[in-house]
Amino acid sequence: MTDTHSHLHLLPEPQEALQRASGLRAILTLGTDVASSASATRYASRFANVYAAVGLHPTEASLFDSEVAASLRELAQQPRVRASGETGIDYYWDAASREEQLRVLDFQLELANDNDLAMVFHVRSQKNRDDAERDLQSWLEANKPQRFVLHAFGGDMALAESATALGGYVSFAGNLTYKKNRRLREIAGLLPLERLLVETDSPYLPPEPMRGKKNEPLFVRYTLEALANSRGLPFEEMERISDENARRLFRW
């Protein structure tokens, strides 16, 4: 199994969680600013199955300046960094302007191109709106990043179809297991099999039956089970496919 999106720096006991997840093929831990990106590279240097992504979360985009850019450029050159991110568009929190977020997106694309990295995209609109999804879709179609994933996919089929048509991947998190999300499981059954990934987004989005607990990389198995069921495949076959998809995207 592979956890393609976690935030180890936010776990209450990250080393214990990593010991429990020692059997996972790979874990990608992501930064959301300079400090957490540096932390991600340290975890990657210490644990054999951990890799890092470095970036500035869209809600932190107002912090972007030349010093932040220089720090992220330096971190991106670390040997076990495999992705630029997480980056993207977030209008839910109204923490940074559209222009600030697009500026960071352009920088993260530069970071990915200069270091041969995948990109990891976050997207979130306010309730009953889709402006973040449409802005990210437009940016993707204009810029065509070489390798990328939509993380913690929430069900915007137009964005997913555009992304997969561009060669991107779609990653499902614990919300795929929630009883109310039948439509999300239906969508998971429709997307190209060779473009599907699983993640925890730990410590967020704990899957059933771990609701109420802090999520951790080992819990990715519950999302993988839900994805296998959505595709009508045995667990072992979905595991093989998603592991290979992750290896192809992140090149570990």
pLDDT value, residue 224 = 98
Q: What is the 3-state secondary structure (H, E, C) of 188-247?
A: HCCCCHHHEEECCCECCCCCCCCCCCCCCHHHHHHHHHHHHHHHCCCHHHHHHHHHHHHH
> What is the token pair recorded at 185?
């499981």
Cα 156-130-92 angle, rounded to 5 deg:
110
Per CATH, the homologous superfamily of domain 2-250 is Metal-dependent hydrolases (3.20.20.140)
pLDDT tens across 100-129, in order? 999 999 999 999 999 999 999 999 999 999
Cα 144-150-152 angle, rounded to 5 deg:
175
pLDDT value, residue 246 = 98
pLDDT value, residue 70 = 98
pLDDT value, residue 167 = 98
pLDDT value, residue 178 = 98
Q: What is the pTM of this model?
A: 0.97
Q: Reduced to 3 DSSP states, what percent helix, strand and coil does the chain have, rounded to the nearest 5?
A: 50, 15, 35
Is the Cβ–Cβ distance between 102 and 136 less than 8 Å?
Answer: no
For residue 176, give the DSSP letter.
G
pLDDT value, residue 198 = 98
Q: Going by C-beta distance under 8 Å and a sequence separation of 6 or more, which residues neighbour residue 230?
A: 176, 185, 186, 188, 189
Stretches where the chain sits below pLDDT 50 are none
pLDDT value, residue 65 = 98
pLDDT value, residue 21 = 98
Domain positions in the chain: 2-250
